[in-house]
Amino acid sequence: MIIRYIAAALAAFTLATGTALAQEQAVEQKTAGADSTKVNNLSVSLNFLSHGEIIVGGLPVDNDTQHEDRSAFLMGRARIGLDYSRRGLQAHAVLQNLGIWGSGGNQALNLYEGWVKMSSRKGLFAQIGRIALSYDDERIIGPNDFAAASNSHDVLRLGYEGHGHKLHLILGYNQNGANVYSSTYYADGGSQYYKTMQTLWYHYDFPRFPLGASLLFMNLGLQAGEKGDESNPPQTVFQQMSGAYLNFHPGIFSLEASGYLQTGKTLFYEKHASKIEAWMASVKASVKPWEALGFTLGYDYLSGDNFVAVPESGTIGLVYKDVFRGFSPLYGSRTKFYGLLDYFYESAYIHGFTPGLQNAYATVDFAPLKGFSGSVTYHYLAVATKLEGLGSTLGHSADLQLRYKFSKDISLAAGYTLMLGTETMDRLKQGAGSRYSHWGWFSLVISPELFSTRW
């Protein structure tokens, strides 16, 4: 039914855009001159990322309770991109190889992006394929490119953009194989994030007023249960995300605010479903009095639980409850918001515990020289719930980032993070937080355009 619906929607939309496009091209052909014969554009580009890290502090080993005091590695990522465009049609493909230096031949080869897009002058468009989605400030949906592998989604995207309005409908349906019987339980072995997804996003930029506003509604189908288990059979449970984002930017000032509500059902311990009632809110104020200097203050609140969720047949002494209150930022660019180390959503607490997060931060941005820029950010981090026998403070961290652009296609970034954790961090992460940990990294990016032509 879902596949039939997606196919029908694509066919109707393609007919509409195709008819409009044909009419536009007929008019253009009548009025075109000799110089307009070259309507096809093709380009090929490369993107090389060399990245290194060294971390000192307690780190988990293969999700075990044992920890190493130090970790160091070098990683390489290579992407080759192909872009084609003509009036009303775009095609884009990115092949990606990612691997740690010296590991197994670096065989992590995949299609990072691969899509085609049809559009008309009326503002309508249809896009289908594997797409690196990015919306608003990327808190809920973003590529999370700092994670190197980055996020992309296999979806159909239909929309309209024009006169300050943007309306996108995103539809996804995932399986890990073509066989109906062996592929209905998607969470077992799948590489995507959900079984089904329907997202509606609307954005409006107010005329003659520096305000942009967005509304987001997302419905996710997540697969729970276990194959062959009659007491917990495979099923698809649905979770909803709804919220808004505002960006007010008068002159040298900028004010951003967002709020989201999560309802429906969520997964914990991968194969068990529980009702979810969670929310988050954020606010950020920035000022840039000079071109070379800017300041930002912000606060994030993500709701959490004051108990460790376990299945009904779980460990004695832990608590099972029907309502899960830990907010999940889903597919956002997480290191952009909660500190570059992001102890809280990129890696889990003990037993998948979700105590939420309070993140108060201050940032100084600077650009003293042409091509050179940087930032320093301080984070005060605390849980969002009351913990018995433990304080709420998780710790304090400071992020330093430096960037230098040698040319239009060569840049170098480096950074250093210091984390001063508390007993609460140690207990919730079983030592992975550490009372003291620090992290240094660099990223060299070389992205030349190899070839471009028109005909």
- Output the tens digit of pLDDT for each of the chain's 455 residues: 444 545 555 555 545 455 554 555 554 444 444 456 789 999 999 999 999 999 876 544 444 444 556 678 899 999 999 999 999 999 999 999 988 888 765 557 889 999 999 999 899 999 999 999 999 999 999 988 877 778 899 999 999 999 999 999 999 998 877 766 656 656 555 556 788 999 999 999 999 899 999 999 999 998 877 777 777 777 888 999 999 999 999 999 999 999 999 999 987 666 677 899 999 999 999 999 999 999 999 999 999 987 765 554 445 445 556 788 999 999 998 888 998 877 787 666 776 678 999 999 999 999 999 999 999 999 999 999 988 888 899 999 999 999 999 999 999 999 999 989 888 888 887 665 557 788 899 999 999 999 999 99
Tokens of 2: 């879902």
185 inside domain: no
Residue 165: per-residue pLDDT: 97
| Number of C-beta neighbours around residue 264 at 10 A | 17
217 inside domain: yes
CA distances to 38, 142, 345, 367 from 134, rounded to whole Å, are 32, 4, 19, 26
pTM: 0.85
Tokens of 440: 């240094």
Residue 102's CATH number = 2.40.160.100
Each as own residue / partner, the long-range contacts of residues 209-215 (CB below 8 Å, 24 or more positions apart, any chain) are 210/248, 210/249, 210/250, 210/251, 211/246, 211/247, 211/248, 211/249, 212/246, 212/247, 213/244, 213/245, 213/246, 213/247, 214/135, 214/136, 214/244, 214/245, 214/246, 215/243, 215/244
The number of folded domains in the chain is 1
81 inside domain: yes
173 inside domain: yes
42 inside domain: no
Residue 306: per-residue pLDDT: 77
Residue 62: per-residue pLDDT: 45
186 inside domain: no
Residue 224: per-residue pLDDT: 78
Residue 36: per-residue pLDDT: 60
328 inside domain: yes
Instruction: Give residue 394's domain range.
Output: 2-28+51-177+193-454
152 inside domain: yes
Place of tokens 């607490």: 349
| Number of C-beta neighbours around residue 170 at 10 A | 21
Arithmetic mean of pLDDT over the chain: 84
